[in-house]
Chain A
Amino acid sequence: MRIGLFVTCLTDTLYPGTGRAVVAVLERLGHQVDFPAAQSCCGQMHFNTGYRREATPMARGFTGAFSGYEAIVTPSASCASMVREYYPALATEAQDPGLARAVAQIAPRTYELSVFLADVLGVTDVGAYFPHRVTYHPSCHSLRMLRVGDAPLRLLRAVRGLDLVDLPDAESCCGFGGTFAVKNADVSAAICADKVTAVRQTGAEVLCAADNSCLMHIGGALTRQRSGVATMHLAEILACTEGAPT
């Protein structure tokens, strides 16, 4: 299958290790991964902050970069939701039938990584080994927009050596919300404080999620508190093997 990796601007810029991990996992499963260099940002930050017009050229850029791939895989439930849920509305609003046609082609083929692995490829054991205590935060967009269900948990449960512990009040938001974290910093920090408390109650060494944006947020508080709890994207855990454990 010809897979186009949509790495997302955040992961590209701040978490390149997640992108390398996605490549490693997909190649280990025997797939060919391509990184179309014409990709940049899906436009979600602009769209969600009210700069809808500014997001339209980014949607055009995305559809241009990824035309022709059988599957577009991304390590972000949030960015996948943007493409799948909001691109059609954006194309309609821009009165751009060409963009609407491109979106109709590409949006249904854009998959968040865990959905692609567990539901599209039907693989839950990706041959990973990670002998650590891990708790999983289901990000809001994975849970309530993309509805990935338990795909990430099925993948984590199949990782050898991994001790998966439930996160109390797991389905509550971490308070990130994109520009919300800056525009409403006090409320955002208050929500995050409760999420951090829940994470620390688990005794986990690692907090895992399917979105680096939420991990950047919760992780930013965890390191500020010198909690010793690390944050890792799901792909990074799945990339670990007995031969290459970190």
Chain B
Amino acid sequence: MTGPDMTGPDMTGPDLTGPHPGMPTYLGMPSFPVAAAAAVADSQLRRNLAHATHTIREKRAVTVAELTDWEALRAAAKAIKDHTLANLDTYLLRLEASVTKAGGHVHWAQDATEANAIVTDLVRAAGADQVVKVKSMVTQEIGLNEALAAEGISALETDLAELIVQLGHDRPSHILVPAIHRNRAEIREIFRREMPDAPADLTDDPAMLAAAARTHLRQAFLSAQVGISGANFAIADTGSLVVVESEGNGRMCLTLPRTLISVVGIEKILPSWRDLEVFLALLPRSSTAERMNPYTSTWTGITPGDGPQDFHLVLLDNGRTSALADHTGRQALRCIRCSACLNVCPVYERTGGHAYGSPYPGPIGAIISPLMRGVTSPIDASLPFASTLCGACYDVCPVAINIPEALVYLRGKVVDAKREKHFSPERTVFNVSAHVLRSPRLLGAAQRAGSLAGRVFARSGRIRRLPPPLSGWTETRDVPAPPPESFRAWWARTRGAGR
């Protein structure tokens, strides 16, 4: 794979192959089935995904099984998040007061545009034209790097995988392993092409690739005036923020620059430090299958003479209150972005993240994007259907989000949004079939008609071709021919008419 191939003849998505297109916005993405078809055909992507997801899946199962109180932890996490979300107004104000008291500044952003404008103004005020970034989902969500670039400010991703994605001019395809779709030969090529200080004899040896990235980032860490982060948790009682990462590069960004700006979704709040314990047990085991997280950075406002002396917290809504208002959808706001659901998902394992049209891929992305953005665009209207409803995601979710329930619920919203609007062949089929399937008499008549048709069209008991859209099935799978006699007909013939 030489990049996310979104430029096939049947693709209507943004062109990602230009010289420096940057991170494109996700608007205008094709629907999931169209994007997924390209991914399914990509042999390198399929191999990388199968290997990575199975490895993490198995390790997670082992480390989770070590804890005898996993289900109790999971129930506690769910309860803490539900309580916090139900009292979000109280805790948000408490957080604002705590951060302010600790010497930080709090800004409120209703959407991506507002958040990007706030951050841009803050960077300008600091007199900087370059920022270093901690890996963060929320700044991907709002397209911060592109917004800063448009104002002449360059943002450097310092997480190794995010750096690979940034230098490769593409998009992350996994929450935790953003470059899961790349192999080391591709990474070597990206470094040689895009990293001016890469050694001339750079090989695809992982240690050498990491060393090249370290050298490249070191100068940026030492010279950066502004660091930008997200946060995994925000503690309302004290105003402390928490970032959980594996490399230590995040900690460099959080401690070295003079100014630190953290963009945080409003659902990231925990009431108190006591609550954090539960999540620091659940998150590493769920995401990287580690018993303890390697680098857990916490900070509270500013500390004179130590670390950033200017701290700004940007609290972001961007569709979260819409999700919160939804009785079934609000459970998605419990998500702690561990990506356990991605790693067990049969669909994600075959498509990777790009097809999901947002930084949030996999099962959680299939519910959270339509909840935050609505179901009007082709990609958002198709996401709730991008699941077999196998339930593996719900089983592994550390905050017990019933993703299958939310998916089925959102499918109803998609269908309802289209009702009364225009003629839909699918709706006609489902209306007619609903009449047939709820009437034993009509079902019996349909079965008799099917038996006749089966005798005409089937070969050795199988039907090998059906017209669209059912051809999607028969391209790779046979359909059994209807038998000469349905069960209902057999029963009536041999046992009488029943009651």
- Asked if A105 is at the interface of the complex by the 8 Å CB criterion, the answer is no
- Asked if A158 is at the interface of the complex by the 8 Å CB criterion, the answer is no
Contacting pair A36 B346 (CB below 8 A): no
Given A13-B486, A189-B475, answer yes or no on A173-B388 (Cβ-Cβ < 8 Å): yes
- Asked if B350 is at the interface of the complex by the 8 Å CB criterion, the answer is yes
Given A51-B415, A173-B390, A183-B33, answer yes or no on A36-B480 (Cβ-Cβ < 8 Å): no
- Chain A residue numbers with a CB within 8 Å of B415 are 49-52
Contacting pair B385 A183 (CB below 8 A): yes
Pairs A–B under 8 Å by Cβ, sample size 5: A9-B443, A51-B415, A178-B389, A217-B477, A220-B473
Contacting pair A176 B388 (CB below 8 A): yes
CB closest chain-A residue, reference B418: A50
B residues 402-434 near A (Cβ < 8 Å) are 404, 408, 411-416, 427, 430-431, 433-434
A residues 1-54 near B (Cβ < 8 Å) are 7, 9, 11-20, 34-41, 43, 45-52, 54
- Chain A interface, number of residues (Cβ within 8 angstroms): 69
Please name 6 further chain A to chain B contacts, defined as beta carbons within 8 Å, in addition to the given A144-B391, A173-B390, A190-B350, sorted by A numbering.
A40-B438, A57-B438, A58-B434, A140-B389, A180-B388, A181-B477
- Chain B residue numbers with a CB within 8 Å of A36 are 498-499
- Chain B residue numbers with a CB within 8 Å of A55 are 434
- Chain B residue numbers with a CB within 8 Å of A88 are none
Contacting pair B430 A182 (CB below 8 A): no
Measured CA separation A34–B390 after assembly (Å) = 32
- Asked if A191 is at the interface of the complex by the 8 Å CB criterion, the answer is yes
A residues 211-228 near B (Cβ < 8 Å) are 216-217, 219-221, 223-224
Query: Counting chain B CB atoms within 10 Å of each CB, which of A16, A20, A140, A189 scores highest?
Result: A16
Measured CA separation A17–B33 after assembly (Å) = 35
Measured CA separation A212–B414 after assembly (Å) = 28
Contacting pair B477 A224 (CB below 8 A): yes
Measured CA separation A97–B321 after assembly (Å) = 31
- Asked if B437 is at the interface of the complex by the 8 Å CB criterion, the answer is yes
- Asked if A186 is at the interface of the complex by the 8 Å CB criterion, the answer is yes
Closest Cβ–Cβ distance, residue A217 to chain B (whole Å): 7
Closest Cβ–Cβ distance, residue B277 to chain A (whole Å): 29
Interface of chain B, main secondary structure: helix
Contacting pair A187 B36 (CB below 8 A): yes
- Asked if A152 is at the interface of the complex by the 8 Å CB criterion, the answer is no
Contacting pair A12 B469 (CB below 8 A): no
Q: Please pick, from A16, A145, A173, A179, the residue contacting B486 in the complex, using a CB distance under 8 A.
A: A16
Contacting pair B491 A177 (CB below 8 A): no
Query: Counting chain A CB atoms within 10 Å of each CB, which of B427, B434, B479, B482 scores highest?
Result: B434
Contacting pair A9 B32 (CB below 8 A): no
B residues 438-486 near A (Cβ < 8 Å) are 438-440, 443, 446-447, 450, 462, 464, 469-470, 472-473, 475-480, 482-483, 485-486
Contacting pair A144 B392 (CB below 8 A): yes
CB closest chain-B residue, reference A16: B487
Measured CA separation A192–B486 after assembly (Å) = 28
Given A54-B431, A140-B391, A173-B392, answer yes or no on A223-B462 (Cβ-Cβ < 8 Å): yes
CB closest chain-A residue, reference B450: A13
